[in-house]
Structure 1
Amino acid sequence: MTMIGEFLTIAAASQPTGGGLGFFLPFILMLVFFYIILYIPEKKRKKKYKGMLDSLKVNDEIITKGGILGKVINVQDTFIILETGPSRARIKLDKNGILSILNPSNVEEKEDKKEVKKENKHKEEIKEETKEETKKEVKEEVKKADEESKGVDFKEN
C-alpha cells in the first residue's frame, strides 16, 4: 500500500499546476460578457428614465406603475400631484412611481412644429431653385429657337 501512495505522490508532483491567466481567462471573459449584456443597457435605460422624470411638466398625462392614468397638476422635487378619474381625485405620488408619460404637454408639439417649419422652408427653397432652373432652361430654348429661325427664310406663297 505504501507503494501506491508513493506512485500517487509522484504522479501528483509530475502534473503541471493549472494556475495563472489560463485558469482565470474564462471567468474574466464571462464577467466582461455579463457587463456588456446586462449593465450597459440597464444604465442607458436608467438615464432615459431619469431624463423623462426631469422633463415632467404640469398638464402631462402619465401612467403610474400601478396602472393609474392621470394628469400632472403639480411637480415638486420628488413628488407630483396627480389628478385622476371623473371625480378629479388628487393623489400625491412619488416620481419613481411613474411608468411613462403618455402625452407630454407642448414639448413634442413644439419640436414637431419646428421640424415642420424646417421641412416647409426646405421645400420652398427647392421650389424656388426648380423655378429658376426652369426659367433658365426655357430662356435657353427660346434663344436657341430664335437663332435657328434667323437662318431660315420664310416665303409666303
Structure 2
Amino acid sequence: MKQERELYAKGHLVFTFIRGLHTVIEEDIKIRLKKDHGLLYPAFKILWILSFEDKMNMSEISEITLTNISNTYRQLVKLKDMDLVTIGSNEDARIREIRLTDKGERLVQTILRDHSNRTDLNLLPFLSNIPKEDLDIFIEVLTDLSRSLLGDKYTSWALNTSEYLKES
C-alpha cells in the first residue's frame, strides 16, 4: 500500500510539473503571437502543424492538437476567413483536405524565423544549461510516456517535426 501511495504521489508530481511547464511555455508563445501577429495560440497550433504536412484532414489535426473536432473546426473556419488555410469540399467535414495557403506558409515561416532569431522563451536558456546527456535521457522518458499515453501517431509526428526543425 505504501509503494502504491508513493507511486501515486510521483505520478502527481509528473502531471503537476508537466502541466505547469506547459502553461508557462504556452503563455510565452501566446504573448508573442498576439503582440507580433494578432494571432491566438489555438489557431497558430494548427498553422504550425500544417506547416509540416502537405495536407491533413480535420480529424488528423484534432489528433495532433489534442483538441476536439468542434474546436478544430472553429479554428479552421477563422483561419480560412483570414486566408491562411484552404478547406476542401467533402460531405463529411472531418475528412476534408486542409492545406496552408501561401499566406499561411509565409506567416508560419516568419514566426519561426522571428522566434529562432530573437527568442524570449524562458525554456530555451534553461535547456541550454542542462547537460546534453541528461536532456537526452529526459527526452527519452518523455518519448516513452508519449508513446504509451498518446500513441505512435502523435509521438512520431513530434519526433519527425523535431528532426525537421534541426535540419531547417
Normalising by structure 2, we get a TM-score of 0.27
Which structure would you say has the larger RCO, counting Cα contacts within 8 Å and 6 or more residues apart? Answer: 2
Greater Cα radius of gyration, structure 1 or 2: 1
